[in-house]
Amino acid sequence: MSEESTTPSLVELSWQAFEAVSRHDVDALMRFYAPDAVLDASDLGLGTYEGVTAVGSVLDEWWRTWAEHLIEAQEIVDLGAGVVFWRVREDGRMVGSDRHVEQRVGMVFLWAKGMIERHTIYFDIDDARAAAERLAKSR
């Protein structure tokens, strides 16, 4: 008799985390981040944040800039060695504006022991995928 693992895959965990993202539920999302997690948004010109409190604060602040906001995960792929790549589309209207905004980004997540240790956001999706593939090969 074989036993199936009850541990969720990194893709499953990523989709669960994304559900919190799509609801803009910072508290639920931060349950997926390690206490010393790093969010690197320097490619977007937004800096790097260390620690779950700082990561949660910057994400909450980002979501508050939107009057209307739809975020869609177009792809979530486990590249192995704890590396997961997300291709994401954001769409909506910023606070104080009547203009529509849309952007696509690539995100690279480094997972360990079921927790996100590092989250890096890239403007260029191909750059993000290449970085994720390099990271997975180097681990």
Per-residue model confidence as pLDDT tens digits over 62-106: 999 999 999 999 999 999 999 999 999 999 999 999 999 999 999
Q: In angstroms, rounded to a whole number, what is the distance separating the alpha carbons of residues 25 and 70?
A: 13
User: In the chain, what are the domain boundaries?
Assistant: 10-138
Residue 5 confidence (pLDDT): 60
Distance of CA 6 to the CA centre of its chain: 24
pLDDT tens across 34-69, in order?
999 999 999 999 999 999 999 999 999 999 999 999
Q: In angstroms, rounded to a whole number, what is the distance separating the alpha carbons of residues 126 and 35?
A: 29
pLDDT tens across 3-40, in order?
556 678 999 999 999 999 999 999 999 999 999 999 99
3-state SS class at 52: helix
- pLDDT of 1 > 60? The answer is no
In CATH terms, 10-138 corresponds, of 3.30.1490.190, 3.40.640.10, 3.10.20.600, 3.10.450.50, to 3.10.450.50
Nearest to 15 by CA among 58, 59, 54, 72: 72
pTM of the model: 0.93
Residue 2 confidence (pLDDT): 47
Q: In angstroms, rounded to a whole number, what is the distance separating the alpha carbons of residues 83 and 59?
A: 21
Distance of CA 59 to the CA centre of its chain: 10
